[in-house]
Structure 1
Amino acid sequence: MTDSNPSVDLVDASVPLAAGSATHAVRHQRHKVVAATQGSYEALFETELSGSPLVERLLVADAIARSAGSDALHAHYRARLDALAPLSPAQQAAADGAAPEALGQDPRLQAVLRFARTLTDHPVEGDREALLKLPAAGLSTPEVVALAQLIAFVAYQVRVVAGLRALAELGGDSAAPAADEDPAPFVHPANLPPPGEPLRINGYTSETLGWKAWLPTLDLTQASPEQVRVLDSSHPKARSSDYYLLLVLQPRILQERATVFNAIMYAPGGLSRAERELASAVVSRVNGCVYCASVHAQRFEQLARRNDVIAQVFEEPETAGTTARERAIVRLAIALTRDPAGFGVTQLQAVRAAGLTNLEILDTLHAVAIFAWANRLMLNLGQPVYS
């Protein structure tokens, strides 16, 4: 069981990572990610958060950790729930693993847990109809934002813990020789639009899309100084973005989340920027997030000056990759996205054989995990808009 004290670094405790171990050392090279991941946890589970009661938030986190097969996180969230006892009969039933359908005596909790289950298992199914059941059950828009961030964060947290556990088992930094394997199908550049011109394959695209929220966003004329500060530190276009104007209804959570994202995607050294974008595009394709896939396909093209592997990802991610290194990154991204409970050292052997260092592997794991978070927000709070 992990320590239920919120001041303890929950990821380190859940792996567990002992101070001074090699994996602890490499994780803490990305100290901004470490700090903002813990900061996100503390923001989402602070008692005074405007929105859902703490017990409701802990029930959601516990249900996600249980469903995802993360024993350590399940133990942590259950310990925090037990500390809040006594629970209502419906809350106790939920803590004991009852399905949302069995909680008819508490329709709000039933709606919240049903939404959490959908976003955990099949995020693309968390559509407008699913979202609007939450206001109908009595949740305010800030409460819905807090819930969506919490669900997405725990999806991220589960994958960070699973990835770090596998990395700790993998051990040292020496790479084995690349194994012989059949090459992935090669898409000749002559059969593709040149980089910079949109790809359109299987409903995915590299063209620029907009995004429209399904819930009321912040009116900037009513913004608090804190909300304005968080908007301006999150993204250069945040003041005109539905995405940020919705998430800033919970400003502290958005601030921590933006810090995590930027530290993962833009930190110097380690995995190349283009490869981080490739991993992000793969996760988005697997999760069915057309908007995120478009953004990160574009960024890969801009950085790598080619679009062949993106075409392969859009066509069939399972066989995508123009080199052994790309194929290893793609397969890691698919495995951790689809089955964090089954993710282990076996799923890291190909990236090690392809020559990735522990820091590069960590950066790959982080890129995959942050898009478990990003996709769930983009898919479940609004929709892409085509020009």
Structure 2
Amino acid sequence: MNISDMTILSKAGVVPDSALSKVVSTRGNILGMAQTAEESVLRPKETGAFPHELRAAIAARVARLAGDEMLATYYMADAGQYAALAEPKEPAEQYEELTAVLSFVDKVANQTREAAAEDVSKLQAAGVADADIVRLCELVAFLAFQIRVIAGLRLMQRETA
């Protein structure tokens, strides 16, 4: 797998043969696992209540909330019919059944310390199955990891430039 195949490296702006690419190549196994994790949470075989397009829209939304427009744009390309959900400020009236899901995502992505058991209870009350709650948490947790690694690599790249 090369740099352009790895979302973390490509969205961080790491280019082949740069000083930073040489440094991160020593951690290729970790980056490869991160790419596999991305495939698992964004494009799994078993999607449950969250089809691939919805997962992409949620990923774009989380990236946007984190201020990473480049990553948001990347995920938006796959959001399809759910593209409106990627904009946190836009009302999602046509997706009223996802109100609880989006509230949960927004809170967990931005106010992680404030997340509590009652937030999961709200999802359950909205009819979200436990397995789908786990899927949603996996997605948001991965995105938090990915966004932080990308931000760190961007900072490192500025220092090596």
Q: TM-score, normalised by structure 2?
A: 0.88
Paired position in structure 1 for 2:15: 18
**Residue 144 (str. 1) matches residue 133 (str. 2):** yes
Q: Distance in 2 between matches of 1:63 and 1:106?
A: 15
Q: Distance in 1 between matches of 2:61 and 2:87?
A: 9
- 3-state SS, counterpart of residue 77 of structure 2: helix
Are the counterparts in 2 of residues 135 and 141 from structure 1 also a CA contact under 8 Å? yes
Are the counterparts in 2 of residues 50 and 142 from structure 1 also a CA contact under 8 Å? no
**Residue 38 (str. 1) matches residue 35 (str. 2):** yes
Q: Distance in 2 between matches of 1:58 and 1:148?
A: 14
Q: What number of residue pairs does the alignment pair up?
A: 157
Q: Deviations over 1:188-218 (max 9, x none)?
A: xxxxxxxxxxxxxxxxxxxxxxxxxxxxxxx
Query: For residue 98 of structure 2, what is the amino acid of its counterpart?
Result: L
Q: Deviations over 1:16-36 (max 9, x none)?
A: 111111111111211221111
Higher RCO (CA < 8 A, seq sep 6+): 2
Q: Distance in 2 between matches of 1:107 and 1:114?
A: 11
Report the CA distance shift for 1:16/1:64 in structure 2 as closer, same or farther (over 3 A): same
Paired position in structure 1 for 2:26: 29
Paired position in structure 1 for 2:68: 70
Structure 1 residue 45: Cα displacement: 1.4
Are the counterparts in 1 of residues 6 and 35 from structure 2 also a CA contact under 8 Å? yes
Match of residue 50, structure 1, among 10, 34, 47: 47
Aligned ranges 1:307-322 → 2 under 5 Å = none
Paired position in structure 1 for 2:84: 93
Query: For residue 8 of structure 2, what is the amino acid of its counterpart?
Result: V
Report the CA distance shift for 1:60/1:92 in structure 2 as closer, same or farther (over 3 A): closer
Q: Distance in 2 between matches of 1:107 and 1:134?
A: 13
Are the counterparts in 1 of residues 61 and 87 from structure 2 also a CA contact under 8 Å? no
Aligned ranges 1:367-382 → 2 under 5 Å = none
Structure 1 residue 117: Cα displacement: 0.7
Structure 1 residue 104: Cα displacement: 4.5
Q: Distance in 2 between matches of 1:97 and 1:120?
A: 12
Query: Structure 1 or 2: larger helix share?
Result: 2
Report the CA distance shift for 1:55/1:138 in structure 2 as closer, same or farther (over 3 A): farther
**Residue 159 (str. 1) matches residue 148 (str. 2):** yes
Are the counterparts in 1 of residues 64 and 86 from structure 2 also a CA contact under 8 Å? no
- 3-state SS, counterpart of residue 21 of structure 2: helix
**Residue 61 (str. 1) matches residue 48 (str. 2):** no
Aligned ranges 1:336-347 → 2 under 5 Å = none
Are the counterparts in 2 of residues 63 and 97 from structure 1 also a CA contact under 8 Å? yes
Aligned ranges 1:142-221 → 2 under 5 Å = 142-171=131-160
Paired position in structure 2 for 1:131: 120
Q: Distance in 1 between matches of 2:93 and 2:77?
A: 25
Structure 1 residue 133: Cα displacement: 1.4
Query: For residue 54 of structure 2, what is the amino acid of its counterpart?
Result: E
Aligned ranges 1:224-373 → 2 under 5 Å = none
Q: Distance in 1 between matches of 2:146 and 2:87?
A: 22
Q: TM-score, normalised by structure 1?
A: 0.38
Q: Deviations over 1:134-189 (max 9, x none)?
A: 122222111111100110111111111111011011018xxxxxxxxxxxxxxxxx
Structure 1 residue 92: Cα displacement: 4.3
Query: For residue 114 of structure 2, what is the amino acid of its counterpart?
Result: E
Taking only the aligned residue pairs, the percentage that are identical comes to 29
Unaligned runs of 5+ in 1: 1-6, 173-387
Unaligned runs of 5+ in 2: none
- 3-state SS, counterpart of residue 17 of structure 2: coil
Report the CA distance shift for 1:92/1:43 in structure 2 as closer, same or farther (over 3 A): closer
Q: CA RMSD in A?
A: 1.9
Looking at CA atoms only, which structure, 1 or 2, has the larger radius of gyration? 1
Are the counterparts in 1 of residues 7 and 35 from structure 2 also a CA contact under 8 Å? yes
Paired position in structure 2 for 1:107: 96
Report the CA distance shift for 1:95/1:122 in structure 2 as closer, same or farther (over 3 A): closer
Q: Distance in 2 between matches of 1:170 and 1:92?
A: 35
